[in-house]
Chain A
Amino acid sequence: MKHVFLVLLLLCAPPVFSVEPDEILDDPVLEQRARDISANVRCVVCQNEPIDSSNASIARDMRILIRERLVAGDSDAAVYSFLVDRYGTYVLFKPPFQGATIGLWIGPFVILALGSIGAYVAFRRHTVVPTKLSDQEEAKISDLLDDT
C-alpha cells in the first residue's frame, strides 16, 4: 500500500524541465535570472529548442556556465555577450538590432506604411462620386417618373 501511494505521489509530480537538480543554484534570485537567460539561448544541437529545455550535453554545459558567470557577479548583458562572442548572435532567439537584421525589424513597418498609403489612395479614388446630378440626368429621371 505504501508503495502504491509512493507511485501515485510520483505521478502527481509537476513536469520538470531539463535543468537537473545538481545545476540549480541555492540563491533563488540568481536561479531565476539563469532560467530567464537560458530560455532565450538557442541550443546549438537541437536548434529550435532553448537550452533551458534541451537534453543535449552542450546545452547542459551552457546552463552550468551561465550559472557560473552569474555567481561570479556578471550582469545578464555580460552573460549574453560571453555566449555571443563564442557562438555569434545565432544563439540568441531574439535577434539584436544591427546591420543584417534591420530588414527584419523595420520590414513589417515599411510594408504596413506602404499598404496604408496604397489603401488610402485606392479608397480616395473610389469615393469621388458626383454629389449633384447633371441637368440631363434630372430631365431623364423626370421623364421616367412621368411615364408611370
Chain B
Amino acid sequence: MMLNLDFAFLTPAVLSGYVVKGFIFSIQLTLIAMLGGIIIGTLLALMRLSGKPWLVMPAAAYVNTMRSIPLVMVILWFFLLIPLVTGRPLGAEMSAMITFTLFEAAYYSEIMRAGIQSIPRGQVAAGYAIGMTYSQTMRIVVLPQAFRNMLPVLLTQTIILFQDTSLVYAIGAYDMLKGFEIVGKNFNRPVETYLVAAALYFIISFSLSTLVKRLQARISIIR
C-alpha cells in the first residue's frame, strides 16, 4: 500500500480563498432553513392538529409528498420551477435556500406535531378555562412546552440538515464541499481534499451531536 498523502498545499490562504466562502454559505443555508423550517413546520403541525379537514388535508398532503421524494429531486424540482414562477432565474444559492426551507418544514412539522401531541390535554383545557383564545392557548401554554420537549430532536434534525446541505452539489451552488472540490481540482489533489472535507464535516456534526446529547440529559433532569 503506497500512501502518498501531502496536505501541505492546504495553507490558510488556500482555505480562506476557496473553502471559507463555501463554509459560510453552508452555515447560512442551515440556519435559514432551520428557522424558516421550524416556523413553517409549526404552522403545518397546527394545521394538521386543527381537526378541520380543509386545513388537515393540504398540510398532510404537503408533508407526505415532501417526505417521499428524494431531497436531490426536490432540489432539482425547485431549481426548475422557481424560474417558471418568478419569470427569471434566481441563482443556485437562492434557490437552495427556498428549497431547503420548504423541504425541512415537512420534517420539522412532524417533530412539532409529536411535541404538541405530547402535551396533556388538560393544559389546553386549562388555557380555555382561564379565558384564553385558541391562539393564546397555543402561543402561551402549549407551544413553549412542545418546543422544550422537542428541542433535542429539533437540533438533531438540524444536524442532519447541515449534512444534507452538501446536496446543493446537484445544482452547482457554492457550499463547503464545492469549495473543497475546487481546491482538489486546482491542486490536482482530490484525495487529500476529500479527506479533509470529510474530517471537517465529521468534527462539526459529531461535536454538535455530543452537545445535543448533553442538553438532552439536562432537560430530562429538569422534567
Pair from one complex = no
Interface residues, chain B, with chain A CB atoms under 8 Å away? none
